[in-house]
Amino acid sequence: MPYVRHWLRNSVLLFATAIALGLVAAHTRLIQPHDLDLDRTIQTHSRTGWLNHTMEAVSACASPVAGVIILAVWCGWLLFVKRRPIAASATFLVVAIGWNSTQIAKAIVARNRPPREFMLDPEIGSNSFPSGHTAFTVAVAIAVFFLFRESRHRRTVVVCGVFAVLLVAFSRMYVGAHYPTDTFGSVLIASSAILFVTGLWHAWLLPNLERLPVLGGLLGRYGLAEERAALAAADRDGEYAGYDEHAHPAPGHGRHRRHAGR
């Protein structure tokens, strides 16, 4: 996980911007008519039988149930198979917090869903702003980028991540579950939460993984000391690539200057 300068300030500003956007969209007429018009345009000019099924399937892949399964399998593979407990911990935090941060925004903004008569599969869940499905996809895309950001696959990861976010966002508007500003707001909300996580990770969590109740022992059993040693050796040699999801030790170890801003 990279070290981000001014993480607290940037996180708060991004979150405040997203909330302001949501409140304006939900409780004024500055955005709402345009949101509704764009939704109707997508649904009127794009819907066909095969695409309906495709977009519903795309949306289902980022649903709460699918999200929990994906996160559990992914982090379990990193921990138990690859024996990379730091990577598993960082990935879990980025995805879980980036995804679930939307619940705070939903409670604050309290925007109603689009009219039910235009939904392919009427939503019975929480408020509309922001889109939890899109936020989950954003969080996954960022977590994957953190894993590969210094490898030769980083550009491919970025392109695939952007495509995945756009596809899920489009699917949520296509099925009638969200407005365009809901999906854009989820990008801002998830990003602000992940910025906050990067700060906590380097300031407190990474240096104290061994001390976490219950989890510290589990992480230690599956290679925490070995992974720290590998990271330290790679940092000294300047040859570390593709392993930087946990590239920074506790503040003061000298690595912040090298990696800050990457």
pLDDT for 250:
39
- Beta-carbon contacts of residue 236 (< 8 Å; ≥ 6 apart): none
Residue 172 has pLDDT above 80, yes or no: yes
What's the CA angle centered on 243, arms 238 and 247, to 5 degrees?
70
- Stretch 171-181: mean pLDDT, rounded? 95
Summarised one tens digit per residue, pLDDT across range 22-68 is 999 999 999 999 999 999 999 988 899 999 999 999 999 999 999 99
Residue 230 has pLDDT above 80, yes or no: yes
Distance of alpha carbon 150 from alpha carbon 15, whole angstroms: 28
Check the CA dihedral 193-199-201-204 and report its sign.
Answer: negative
Do the beta carbons of residue 188 and residue 14 sit within 8 Å? yes
* H or E element that contains 95: helix 85-100
- The tokens of 16 are what? 């405040």
Distance of alpha carbon 140 from alpha carbon 148, whole angstroms: 12
Give start and end residues of each alpha helix (H) in 131-243.
132-148, 154-174, 180-200, 215-221, 224-237
Q: Per-residue confidence at 242, pLDDT binned at 50, 70, 90?
A: very low
